[in-house]
Structure 1
Amino acid sequence: MSRILTVLMLCLIALGCATGGAGNAQVSSTDPEAVLNKTWQWTVISGPQHDVAVIGPERYTIFLADGRAQVKFDCNGGGGTYEISRGRLSFGPMMSTKMFCRDSQDIIFADNLQNASSFKVEDGVLYLTLADNQTIMQFRQAPNE
Structure 2
Amino acid sequence: MNKTTIISSALVILGLGIIGVLWVITGTKKINTPPVTEVTTSDVKNMNYVIDGQVFSLTNGTVNKEVAPGSASKQTVSIFGEPVYGDLNADGISDAAVMLVSSGVGSGSFYYAVLAIATGSSTYKATNALLLGDRIAPQTVEIHEGRALYNYAERKANEPMTTQPSVGKSLWINYDIKTGEIGELVKNFEGEADTSKMTLGMKKWEWVKTQMNDGKITIPKKTGVFTLAFAKDGKVSIGTDCNSMGGIYTVKGTKLTFSQIISTIMYCEGSQEQEYSKTLGEVASYLFTSKGELVLEIKMDSGTMIFR
Normalization by structure 2: what TM-score? 0.35
Question: Which residue of the partner structure matches residue 207 of structure 2?
Answer: 42
Aligned-pair CA distance for 1:39: 0.7
**RMSD in angstroms over aligned alpha carbons?**
2.3
Is the aligned partner of 1:106 residue 2:258?
no
Q: Which range moves more in the overlay, 47-56 or 114-123?
A: 47-56
Residues 30/135 of structure 1: CA separation in 2 closer, same or farther (3 Å cut): farther
Tell me the secondary structure at the aligned position of residue 111 of structure 1: helix
Question: Which residue of the partner structure matches residue 286 of structure 2?
Answer: 119
More helix by share: 1
Structure 1: where are the runs of 5+ without partners? 1-19, 141-145
Residues 63/103 of structure 1: CA separation in 2 closer, same or farther (3 Å cut): same
Is the aligned partner of 1:133 residue 2:298?
no
Question: Which residue of the partner structure matches residue 13 of structure 1?
Answer: none
Tell me if structure 2 keeps the 8 A contact 1:80–1:91: yes
Return the structure number with greater relative CO, CA threshold 8 A, min gap 6: 1
Residues 101/37 of structure 1: CA separation in 2 closer, same or farther (3 Å cut): farther
Question: Deviations for 1:75-123, whole angstroms, at most 9, x for unmatched residues?
Answer: 2111110012332211012000121123211011000001111111111
Question: Which residue of the partner structure matches residue 115 of structure 2?
Answer: none
Tell me if structure 1 keeps the 8 A contact 2:201–2:230: yes
Amino acid paired to 1:135 = G
Amino acid paired to 1:62 = L
Structure 2: where are the runs of 5+ without partners? 1-184
How many aligned positions are there?
119
Aligned-pair CA distance for 1:37: 4.1
Tell me the secondary structure at the aligned position of residue 266 of structure 2: coil
Tell me the secondary structure at the aligned position of residue 112 of structure 1: helix
Tell me if structure 2 keeps the 8 A contact 1:119–1:126: yes
Amino acid paired to 1:40 = W
Is the aligned partner of 1:53 residue 2:246?
no
Tell me if structure 2 keeps the 8 A contact 1:69–1:81: yes
Distance, in Å, in 1 between the alignment partners of 2:279 and 2:240 is: 12
Residues 88/104 of structure 1: CA separation in 2 closer, same or farther (3 Å cut): same
Tell me if structure 2 keeps the 8 A contact 1:30–1:86: no
Question: Which residue of the partner structure matches residue 171 of structure 2?
Answer: none
Tell me if structure 2 keeps the 8 A contact 1:79–1:96: yes
Deviating beyond 3 angstroms after TM superposition, the runs of 4 or more aligned structure 1 residues are 26-31
Tell me the secondary structure at the aligned position of residue 107 of structure 1: helix
Normalization by structure 1: what TM-score? 0.71
